[in-house]
């Protein structure tokens, strides 16, 4: 059965994530310990003990989720589990690129540490928020956001998660206005998210510029044959792509996960395995591709259940 590995993004973190696999598997211990050694951050302590306020800081969240996902992935690989396609949501793209052989584990940890730091600390001074808009076509959302921007207030689509869910990002005032207008236009629900930065918008230009300098220090490889999907356009990476440019642009560009779902459907993927905390990505796939076979691997129990499957 054709399989895709999906890697979790920011917002799915929980205190205690990865603890049981660390305690049971030497492989997981090596991944956590190596990530801590490379970064100089006590990754396992942040993951296992928090506190939540510390884990939720972008500079900690990104490396914590990446490390947890890679620990789970390593155990899967050692047990012969493979995928034809890999895709991640935002920071999850780095796990996908490591799995696809485009970057080394060490470079991936170093990059995500810098990425998280820049995205968490080089934010505009205004108050920003994000909201998930459910049950409304993305083109209508784009149009209403554009109308609000014409009134001098900043709000844009930031994540195209699936056909029935788009996340918008902007100033808190503009988000509140957008929520009302989008509900009037037929949105079933509008949920404010627990994020404070205008991620995946032009407002993170400074973070993107600083991160581009870090990317220049890294040697990217050709890949190992596993197809990896880009967030910025929902298409596969190719040998012609400038990965450094893409990953710098990634910070200020909307995530096209809905397009990635459609690409995986077109490629004949039937089994989707989300690796890392939370169940957001399989949730998006279930909405657009209800007949798909879905798995979430985020602890010892779910990991070992999947290992039993042919």
Question: Given this model, what pLDDT does residue 207 score?
Answer: 97
In this predicted structure, the answer to whether residue 27 has a pLDDT above a threshold of 70 is yes
Token couple for 167: 């996340």
5 membership: H or E segment, kind and range: strand 3-7
User: How far apart (Å, rounded) are the C-alpha atoms in residues 281 and 289?
Assistant: 12
Q: Share the mean pLDDT of the chain.
A: 96
d(CA 235, CA 253): 14
The per-residue pLDDT for 51 is 97
Domain with CATH 3.40.366.10 in the chain: 3-122+202-307
Q: Which of 90, 138, 169, 253 is an active site residue?
A: 90
Per-residue CA distances from 11 to 17, 36, 69 (Å) = 13, 21, 14
pLDDT of residue 146: 98
Which of 200, 208, 250, 253 is labelled catalytic? 200
All CATH 3.30.70.250 domain ranges in the chain, comma separated: 128-192
Whether 253 is a known active-site residue: answer no
Q: What is the CATH number of domain 128-192?
A: 3.30.70.250
Q: What share of the chain is helix, strand, coil (3-state, %, to 5)?
A: 50, 15, 35
Average pLDDT over residues 269-291: 97
Is the predicted pLDDT of residue 194 greater than 80, yes or no?
A: no
Segment 129-174, tens digit of pLDDT: 999 999 999 999 999 999 999 999 999 999 999 999 999 999 999 9
Helix axes 58-78, 105-121, angle to 10 degrees: 160
Q: Judge residue 140's burial from the number of C-beta atoms within 10 Å of its C-beta, 0-12 exposed, 13-18 middle, 19 or more buried.
A: middle
Q: In what order do the strands lie in the sheet with 227-228?
A: 227-228, 85-88, 3-7, 271-275, 293-297
Is residue 308 reached through a cis peptide bond, with omega within 30 degrees of 0 on the bond before it?
no
- Clarify whether 200 is annotated catalytic: yes
CATH architecture, domain 3-122+202-307 = 3-Layer(aba) Sandwich (3.40)
Beta-carbon contacts of residue 164 (< 8 Å; ≥ 6 apart): 134, 135, 136, 287, 288
The whole-model pTM stands at: 0.96
Please answer whether residues 289 and 14 qualify as being in contact, where contact means their C-beta atoms are separated by less than 8 angstroms: no
What the block records as the tokens of 183 is 């509900």
Measured CA to CA, the distance from residue 130 to residue 98 in angstroms comes to 29
């Amino acid at each position: 059965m054709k399989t895709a590995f999906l890697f979790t993004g920011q917002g799915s973190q929980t205190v205690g994530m990865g603890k049981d696999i660390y305690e049971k598997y030497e492989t997981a211990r090596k991944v956590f310990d190596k990530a801590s050694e490379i970064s100089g951050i006590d990754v396992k302590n942040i993951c296992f003990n928090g506190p939540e306020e510390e884990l939720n800081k972008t500079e900690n969240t990104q490396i914590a989720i990446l490390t947890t996902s890679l620990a789970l992935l390593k155990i899967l690989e050692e047990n012969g589990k493979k995928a034809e396609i890999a895709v991640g949501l935002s920071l999850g793209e780095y796990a996908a690129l490591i799995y696809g052989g485009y970057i080394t584990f060490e470079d991936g940890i170093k990059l995500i540490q810098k990425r998280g730091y820049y995205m968490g600390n080089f934010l505009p001074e205004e108050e920003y928020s994000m909201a998930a808009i459910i049950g409304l076509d993305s083109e209508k959302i784009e149009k209403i956001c554009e109308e609000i921007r014409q009134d001098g207030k900043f709000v844009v689509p930031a994540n195209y998660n699936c056909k029935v869910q788009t996340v918008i990002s902007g100033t808190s005032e503009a988000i509140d206005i957008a929520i009302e207008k989008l509900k009037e236009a037929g949105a079933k629900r509008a949920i404010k998210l627990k994020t404070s930065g205008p991620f995946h918008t032009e407002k993170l230009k400074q973070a993107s510029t600083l991160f581009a300098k870090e990317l220049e220090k890294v040697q990217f490889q050709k890949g190992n044959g596993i197809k990896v999907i880009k967030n910025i356009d929902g298409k596969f990476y190719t040998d012609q792509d400038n990965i450094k440019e893409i990953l710098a642009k990634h910070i200020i560009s909307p995530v096209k996960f809905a397009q990635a779902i459609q690409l995986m459907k077109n490629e004949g993927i039937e089994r989707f395995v989300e690796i890392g905390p939370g169940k957001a990505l399989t949730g998006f796939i279930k909405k657009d591709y209800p007949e798909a076979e879905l798995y979430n691997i985020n602890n010892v129990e779910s990991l070992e259940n999947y290992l039993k499957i042919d």
